[in-house]
Amino acid sequence: MALATPAYADWKITDESPAQSPDASLVTERKVLSRAGQTGSLTTRRIDLVWFNASAFTLKIIDNGPADRPRYAGLGAAMLSHGCLAGSNGGFFLKDHSPSGLMIAAGTAQGSFGKGALLSGVLLSSGNHNPYLLRRAEYDSAKYKATDLIQAGPFLVDQGTTVKGLSPENSRRRTFILHDGGKWFALGLSDALTLAELGILLARPDFSPSRRIHRALNLDGGTSSGLYYERGRAGQPFLVEPYKTVRNFVGIVPRSRPR
């Protein structure tokens, strides 16, 4: 970890987010990372984020079914079918396309609550439609009464600090979820980065000055990574489709009144 920190401390972070209402409950951000190499060439990476306020929106897990009979043509189709204003791919899945760890979609549970670094986080919407980003040990099924849930991992940031021991290998496209410790959550998609690089960047004070990141959890990455959000009057939705068929999606939907 000590070797990774200097390598990414010198990246410049430029905010290229579109102009949006300061009162909006769902906002998008774009961060462009740039760094000059030893030969003078400029290396750039992009990170796109969709922030939502939990007072107005919550999370929805969408089951895509088995690989040979997927329910949706892709991420965009799943989001449109369920009225999601934004969303991404979800958690990991096994070779037989069954979910890795526990998945609850529309109140139906599949798989089993699992252990390990790739299942160290729990992303859920409770029976009262409140979204949560928890560590595995914090989850209590009787307390939260989840209607929608996936396990994923590893954590990238916790308590505002980069998690130790993240891998500096395997630079790849990644998706993740953020929480500011209060009402704001975000889904994100990055260009190719290692887990260590992404954890360091997300914890930097200048990455998101308006909403400091309290927790960040890695979702399934690489060829599974995708992000969708509506642009409203600005034009067609932003859509990066996963390269392969994934088992589930995470959607952002307007929340209804608590039950």
Domain boundaries, the chain: 4-254
pLDDT at 42: 86
pTM (whole model) above 0.85: yes
pLDDT at 8: 54
Distance, CA of 252 to CA of 51 (rounded, Å): 10
Per-position pLDDT tens, the chain of length 259: 344 444 555 789 999 999 888 899 999 999 999 988 767 678 899 999 999 999 999 999 999 999 999 999 999 999 999 999 999 999 999 999 999 999 999 999 999 999 999 999 999 999 999 999 999 999 999 999 999 999 999 999 999 999 999 999 999 999 999 999 999 999 999 999 999 999 999 999 999 988 999 999 999 999 999 999 998 777 899 999 999 999 999 999 998 754 4
Phi, psi of 143, deg, nearest 5? -75, -45
Residues paired with residue 45 on neighbouring β-strands, in sequence order: 33
Distance, CA of 135 to CA of 122 (rounded, Å): 6
By C-alpha distance, which of 115, 108, 107, 70 is closest to 89? 70
pLDDT at 232: 78
CB-based contact 205:160 (threshold 8 Å): no
Give per-residue burial for 92-119: e unless 16+ CB within 10 Å, then b. bbeeebebbbbbbbeeeeebeebeeebb
DSSP H/E element including 4: helix 4-9
